[in-house]
Amino acid sequence: MNLLNFVSEFPDESSCRNKFKEYRERVGVVCPVCGHKEHYWKEDKACYECKHCGKRQSLRANTVMHGSHLPFRYWFIAIHLLTSTKKSFSAVELQRQLGHKRYEPIWCMLHKLRSIMGKRDELYILSGVMELDEGFFSTEIEEEEKGTPLKRGRGSQKKSKVLVMAESHPIEGQTNKKGKIPQVGHLKMVVIHDLKSDTITSMVEKNRSKETIIDSDLSTSYIHLNDIVKEHRGQVILKKETGKFLPWVHIAISNAKRLLLDIHHDIKGEYLQNYLSEFCYKFNRRHFGESLFHRLMIASVTYKNQFRQNYG
């Protein structure tokens, strides 16, 4: 959807509200008390009433807009921008474009959308051959961490650890100097607090199938991976050769870092996951084209916001 189509389809608050209601009913309204799926719509109260137990919920309740007071149109504009721009959109820029007085609610709205993108991608299981590596992203020190002595020269920056997993299958018949060219499937990036074997093994276990084959270096963090996948092909990989042996994790890490530098500056470690979730969500749907808006709308009515519910 280009900007002109967007403006003509959603010219005002009521067109956005009606569309949101349509999406909600298409996915199905579920009663938070009894789980019943049939509801009356009370137009005068603008809420659903459960046909079984009578519990009422607003149009926004139990969706990404749960607890939000921002206009529906703001949300639609944000969803449009997040799904139609190739890279991303900063909260400062969106606040300026909307002419909204306060920064925080806009920042919060974008994070809520990013967090449901992550929720949606949790459904993917990586199969076939999976490249595995860790990336280290510069983030700002969180308030509660300040006071801990940092290594000299690092200022208030620290390196957040990210486990990167990418499905990577060689394409039949296509080769170059490096051998067969692998085609990338789904990508996942997960912020982890340490590089212990237990941490990494359990994270991989959540995201792999038993038939997965893992390519990685010979880090001691990976010693138990053989127990949970079909095969773990660990090998010695020099830092400068990561791009050759683990091409897709290498590309993903450098593209994600560039995006964070270009658009979102000085991000705090606690929000890094959301930015990476947005990056992976768009990467995993890079061939979806215009249907991405529709997909994110579906996710928006499916998941209840968990990110600072009473804010924004």
What residues contact residue 105 under an 8 Å CB cut-off, 6+ apart?
Answer: 68, 69, 70, 311, 312
Q: Does 29 interact with Zn ion (rule: CB under 5 A)?
A: no
Residue from 1, 16, 29, 50 binding Zn ion (CB under 5 A): 50
Q: Does 52 interact with Zn ion (rule: CB under 5 A)?
A: yes
Q: Does 304 interact with Zn ion (rule: CB under 5 A)?
A: no
The Cα angle at residue 274 between residues 224 and 140, in degrees rounded to 5: 90
Q: Does 34 interact with Zn ion (rule: CB under 5 A)?
A: yes
Nearest-approach distance from CB 54 to Zn ion, in angstroms: 7
Nearest-approach distance from CB 61 to Zn ion, in angstroms: 13
How do strand 129-140 and strand 157-176 relate by DSSP bridges? antiparallel
Binding part of the chain for Zn ion, among 47-55, 115-123, 154-162, 198-206 by CB under 5 A, reads 47-55
Nearest-approach distance from CB 310 to Zn ion, in angstroms: 24
CA 50 to CA 54: how far, in whole Å? 5
CA 42 to CA 21: how far, in whole Å? 12
Q: Which CB atom, from 17 or from 39, has the smaller least distance to Zn ion?
A: 39
Q: Which CB atom, from 7 or from 53, has the smaller least distance to Zn ion?
A: 53
For residues 55-94, which are near Zn ion according to CB under 5 A? Answer: 55
Residue 75's SS3 state is: helix
Of 247, 227, 267, 231, residue with least CA distance to 90: 267
Residue from 15, 21, 23, 36 binding Zn ion (CB under 5 A): 36
Nearest-approach distance from CB 171 to Zn ion, in angstroms: 51
Cβ proximity of 146 and 155 under 8 Å: no
Sites of contact with Zn ion (CB under 5 A): 31, 33-34, 36, 50, 52-53, 55
